[in-house]
Amino acid sequence: MEDYIVEMRHITKRFPGIVANDDVSIQIQRGEVYALLGENGAGKSTLMSMLFGMYEPDSGEIYIQGEKVTFRSSNDASAHNIGMVHQHFKLVDNYTVAENIILGMEPMKRFLGVLPCVDMKTANRQIAELSKRYGLEVNPTDKIEDLPVSVRQRVEILKMLYREADILIFDEPTAVLTPQEIEFLLKIIGELRKNGKTIILITHKIEEIKKIADRCAILHRGKLVDVLDVASTSSQTMANMMVGRQVEFSADKSSPHYRDTILEVDHLTVRNANKFDVVKDVSFRIRGGEIFAIAGVSGNGQGELADAIAGMLKAHSGSIKLCGTDITEATIRQRTEAGISYIPEDRQGVGVFMDFTLSQNLALRKYYREPFAKKGILDFGQFDRYAESLIGTYDIRSGQGGKTILRSMSGGNQQKAIVAREIEEHSKLIIFVQPTRGLDIGAIENIHRQIIAERDKGVAILLISLELDEIMELADTIGVIYNGQLLKIADASTMTSHDVGKYMMGVKEA
């Protein structure tokens, strides 16, 4: 028998209404980077959660280094040197970096020779060593809640390494990162491989697979379609196999028909909690039928700009007008009612209820209006019919349709649901922040089509994205934000991605 470090044989896992993994068998060699590719809801996270001991398969077997194992918890998996960085991080927010890393594995010493206590000094030294060895810089005494996602991810990686994991599972690690951070992470993964680690990488980004992976397994609706040698397979082939049809890499978009101005932002300045100007004297307007895209490296004020327009943050000075009416001081609810839809970066913070059903979440913004409520009485049949139609249009996949609890849906499908709900508000202005983060290419294609359709209906679109490709593909007008300022606003047809990239780095004349 060949020496596989991980072997999963005939794994089947069912959830109510769905076979998440259907007789899947994979074999992973020591020291390889093994990618898992598949649409949202294809069963990638489920398969890896079983390898990490979070679920038990309904049938099938798992072998680690040739030995058959049964994991009842992730502790069992850790004991077999398996580590996982989850799609949604699992750190304790009010603990420090070091406390999170050593949690459950604390080195002990005896205080005054008797009382057992945690040996923080040893822990800190070990963490410092690891972070130096792999170039994963952290400050052990920082609190998690104060750290940006990219650093939290480093902490998650260190946590695996601290447990001496040899098999490292990354579940969509790059979905939350900026392009620069992605480069860095891919380098780290390369470094880990050099150190003899085996890496399983779940990602939707085929170019990442091309860059770093040796082999790639493709899952489609729970079934293993194929395992490919990455170097000898084209990106287009991988994309088609994953979606099960021919994928178009660029959206069909006709030239814009601009209508009246919908949003006017004048000399807007926004201050953060530390009294620091994060948006500085920004002015622009968006017409009906126009996609105004803001390009910029993460953290240059684009999130705060969107928050200020939606009313989540106060304007420090300047004004915001919607269809000629000043809304600078309006509440969030007033802005929504006036016709603003908002899909912010932090999706879980915007009125999705993880323990409600999909259908309830989809109707959340209209349940108190006709036809969902008549004279104060809710019509649940309406909820279900409405959900059915959105599930169809936006291809939202889940085990039990509208009755599925949101929490049990795959990350990407939760996201599709929020985007669907906001687009269906038929607003005058829709603000999209990173609308396709974490989505598979088929789903991205679909959302792009919906955004263009709204624009063609005359809606004004503000699109904020860290993906330059997405900006270039969708924008009618591009604004580049740098250090809180709009450095450049121009018709999209007059700029190349190279120009935009330069402005994003703060170069004034491209």
Ligand X SMILES: Nc1ncnc2c1ncn2[C@@H]1O[C@H](COP(=O)(O)OP(=O)(O)OP(=O)(O)O)[C@@H](O)[C@H]1O
Residue 203 touching Mg ion (CB under 5 A): no
The residue type at 39: E
CB 65 within 8 A of CB 28: no
Residue 4 touching ligand X (CB under 6 A): no
Q: Considering beta carbons, is residue 402 or 411 the nearer one to Mg ion?
A: 411
Distances (CA, A) of 321 to 240, 261, 325, 337, 380: 44, 10, 5, 14, 37
Judged by CB under 6 A, which stretch of 38-46, 235-243, 466-474, 493-501 contacts ligand X? 38-46
From the list 259, 305, 261, the residue with the least C-alpha distance to 464 is 305
Interface mask (CB under 6 A) for ligand X, residues 355-394, using x and -?
Answer: ----------------------------------------
Q: Considering beta carbons, is residue 38 or 402 the nearer one to ligand X?
A: 38
Q: Considering beta carbons, is residue 413 or 465 the nearer one to ligand X?
A: 413
Q: From the list ligand X, Mg ion, none, which binds 310 (C-beta under 5 to 8 Å, kind-based)? A: none
Residue 224 CA to residue 27 CA, distance in Å, equals 12
Residue 256 touching ligand X (CB under 6 A): no
Residue 465 touching Mg ion (CB under 5 A): no
Distance of closest approach, residue 155 Cβ to Mg ion, in angstroms: 20
Residue 74 CA to residue 76 CA, distance in Å, equals 5
Cβ neighbours of residue 279 closer than 8 Å, sequence gap 6 or more: 268, 269, 270, 301, 304, 305, 308, 484
The 10 Å Cβ neighbour count of residue 351 is 11
Residue 300 CA to residue 294 CA, distance in Å, equals 11
Q: Considering beta carbons, is residue 382 or 414 the nearer one to ligand X?
A: 414
The 10 Å Cβ neighbour count of residue 164 is 10
Distance of closest approach, residue 300 Cβ to ligand X, in angstroms: 28
* Footprint on residues 250-279 left by Mg ion (CB under 5 A): none
Q: Is 349 helix (H, G, I), strand (E, B) or coil?
A: helix
Q: Give the residue, chosen from 6, 26, 37, 42, that forms a contact with ligand X under the rule CB under 6 A.
A: 42
Name the residue number minimizing CB distance to ligand X. Answer: 412
Q: Give the residue, chosen from 7, 8, 26, 46, that forms a contact with ligand X under the rule CB under 6 A.
A: 46
Residue 508 CA to residue 295 CA, distance in Å, equals 14
The 10 Å Cβ neighbour count of residue 234 is 10
- Angle of helix 441-456 relative to helix 235-243, nearest 10 degrees, comes to 80
Q: Give the residue, chosen from 409, 420, 423, 500, that forms a contact with ligand X under the rule CB under 6 A.
A: 409
Q: What are phi and psi of 463, to 5 degrees?
A: -110, 125
From the list 75, 22, 21, the residue with the least C-alpha distance to 48 is 21
Q: Give the residue, chosen from 38, 57, 435, 484, that forms a contact with ligand X under the rule CB under 6 A.
A: 38
The per-type count for the chain, helices as H runs and strands as E runs, is 16, 24
Residue 411 touching ligand X (CB under 6 A): yes
Q: From the list Mg ion, ligand X, none, which binds 38 (C-beta under 5 to 8 Å, kind-based)? A: ligand X
Interface mask (CB under 5 A) for Mg ion, residues 34-73, using x and -?
Answer: -----------x----------------------------
Q: Considering beta carbons, is residue 224 or 481 the nearer one to Mg ion?
A: 224
Q: How many residues bind ligand X (CB under 6 A)?
A: 21
CA atoms within 13 A on the CB side of 203: 28
Residue 15 touching ligand X (CB under 6 A): yes
Q: Give the residue, chosen from 399, 401, 458, 501, that forms a contact with ligand X under the rule CB under 6 A.
A: 399
Q: Give the residue, chosen from 11, 26, 45, 344, that forms a contact with ligand X under the rule CB under 6 A.
A: 45
Q: From the list Mg ion, ligand X, none, which binds 40 (C-beta under 5 to 8 Å, kind-based)? A: ligand X
CA atoms within 13 A on the CB side of 433: 22
Cβ neighbours of residue 324 closer than 8 Å, sequence gap 6 or more: none
- Angle of helix 380-394 relative to helix 411-423, nearest 10 degrees, comes to 110
Residue 413 touching ligand X (CB under 6 A): yes
* Footprint on residues 70-109 left by Mg ion (CB under 5 A): 87
The residue type at 240: N
Q: From the list Mg ion, ligand X, none, which binds 408 (C-beta under 5 to 8 Å, kind-based)? A: ligand X
Q: Considering beta carbons, is residue 13 or 502 the nearer one to ligand X?
A: 13
Q: From the list ligand X, Mg ion, none, which binds 356 (C-beta under 5 to 8 Å, kind-based)? A: none
Distance of closest approach, residue 171 Cβ to Mg ion, in angstroms: 6
Name the residue number minimizing CB distance to Mg ion. Answer: 45
CB 471 within 8 A of CB 478: yes
The residue type at 76: D
Residue 408 touching ligand X (CB under 6 A): yes
Q: List residues binding ligand X (CB under 6 A).
A: 15, 18, 20, 38, 40-46, 87, 397-399, 408-413
Which residues here bind Mg ion, judged by CB under 5 A? 45, 87, 411
